[in-house]
Structure 1
Amino acid sequence: MIQQQTLDFLSDLVDNNNREWFMDNKVRYDQARQNVIDFTTELIKLMHKVDPALSPELDAKKCVMRIYRDVRFSKNKTPYKNNFGISLPTTGTKLGGAEYYFQIQPGGKSFIAGGYWMPDAAHLKAIRQEIDYNGHDLTNVIDDAAFVKLFGDFRAQDKLKTLPRDYTADHEHIELLKLKSFIALHHIKDKDILSAKAAENVAALCSKICPLNVFLRNAIL
């Protein structure tokens, strides 16, 4: 389970996002990161049962993302992220593609997400083709009442302002074809993050995302 000390470290980091403070609190960071790694180990076992495409052999340490920010091309020069990110790929061990993502961030900002964020050109073309051919398979997933209650309107994501190449405005699924990403996201309260059943609850949420990931994987295989 995620410990209160882990959230406390992240909260304090927001107010002290500098190298000097971080190095003075390196022990706290190491403890928080290990807590997240242990949680991830438990989550991987549960997630393989939810989605067999997610390998039970995933290395939890590699699934926990670096806390160090790449500030080279950012106006925000703070050196550290104010969250722990857990990325769980479903195509081997390489990150990217259709996957599950869990972000731990205090203040009610934690969330579970799944799908495919900003596919490259080849994958985006393949996903649009799959929507063109089998769009009803996707709408059966995203328009299900339980899915909408958890993740909202799937079509209300970043999308093209113009029509995608090779598709017309009267296409039955044009709003899906215009999407740039294919993500389902659900925010999680701090008290639920700290629950002894947090990993089970996250896996249960991912079970609702799984059919979306299956559709996306089938599109790009």
Structure 2
Amino acid sequence: MSMEQMLHYLAALEQNNDRDWFHTHRQEYDQARTAFEKLVEDLLCELRRSDPSLPVLPARELTFKLMRDTRFSRDKSPYLPAFRAHLGPRGKLPVPVGYYLMVRPGGRSFLGGGLFADMFRDATTRVRDAIAANGEEWAAILADPVFAGTFTVGGSALKRVPQGYDPAHPQAEWLRCKSWYLELPVPDSRLLEPGFLPWVAEAFQRMQPFNDFLNRALEGFELPAR
């Protein structure tokens, strides 16, 4: 299945977001999922050339299901019409941080990196401590022309620098954050270009110093047991 057909399937699923339609078009879903998994496998091979921390895993262990957990959501539609994957040192777990890809039609695809989750207080503290202690290195990563010309750093933040950190620190604006992540929008036209895969790999390579800084700070952090 081509990328164009994959986008067509996801758009149709969004318009017919119910279980009957999904099961009636199960063959199209299987073909689209297989095509996305092939993209993820090829991307992993490319990224491992510059980031050996990424393990060799089957694509199915790096991708997320379309089915939504609707128990606590007002939106009861059963599917998220997007193909998503996270390629990190521990597969699709959010920590250590890695490289996130979402394919969704209508200009809603994006590449992501960094720490998206802000509910892990210990993780946030570790990154704040690293920024406070290595402010010049952090600033140099963000100011690098290749990085700054590609990404903008986002994240949830407090109104003030938390207690225990210097409000006058040169990186005070980043010490207020509870998460630090990157998002690079990907228009549909880019998805359909023949050189999409190498473009994605190059973009992810540009965010590698950012991810490496966070992962050094997060070394030893363990996700809470489910």
Please tell me whether the aligned partners of residues 71 and 79 of structure 1 are also in contact (alpha carbons under 8 angstroms).
yes
User: Is 2:72 the counterpart of 1:88?
Assistant: no
Equivalent residue number for residue 60 of structure 1? 59
Please tell me whether the aligned partners of residues 100 and 112 of structure 2 are also in contact (alpha carbons under 8 angstroms).
yes
Q: Percent identity?
A: 31
Mapping of residues 1-221 of structure 1, within 5 Å: 3-55=3-55, 57-90=56-89, 92-93=90-91, 95-97=93-95, 98-119=97-118, 120-152=120-152, 154=153, 156-221=154-219
RMSD: 1.5
C-alpha displacement of 1:220: 1.5
Q: Any gaps of 5 or more consecutive residues in structure 2?
A: 220-226
Please tell me whether the aligned partners of residues 85 and 92 of structure 2 are also in contact (alpha carbons under 8 angstroms).
no
Please tell me whether the aligned partners of residues 87 and 98 of structure 2 are also in contact (alpha carbons under 8 angstroms).
yes
C-alpha displacement of 1:83: 0.6
| Aligned-partner residue type, residue 68 of structure 1 | M
Please tell me whether the aligned partners of residues 2 and 39 of structure 1 are also in contact (alpha carbons under 8 angstroms).
no
Find the residue that maps to 2:170 and give its secondary structure: coil
- Higher alpha-carbon deviation: 120-129 or 165-174: 165-174
Equivalent residue number for residue 222 of structure 2? none
Q: 1:40 to 1:94 in 2, by over 3 A?
A: closer
- Higher alpha-carbon deviation: 142-151 or 125-134: 142-151
- Higher alpha-carbon deviation: 163-172 or 182-191: 163-172
Q: Any gaps of 5 or more consecutive residues in structure 1?
A: none
| Aligned-partner residue type, residue 83 of structure 2 | F
| Aligned-partner residue type, residue 69 of structure 1 | R
Please tell me whether the aligned partners of residues 50 and 206 of structure 1 are also in contact (alpha carbons under 8 angstroms).
no
Please tell me whether the aligned partners of residues 147 and 208 of structure 1 are also in contact (alpha carbons under 8 angstroms).
yes
Higher relative contact order (CA 8 A, sep 6+): 1
Find the residue that maps to 1:122 and give its secondary structure: helix
Q: 1:163, 1:59 → 2: CA distance?
A: 42
Deviations 1:22-41 (A, max 9, x none): 11111111110010011111
Aligned residues: 217
TM-score (norm 1): 0.93
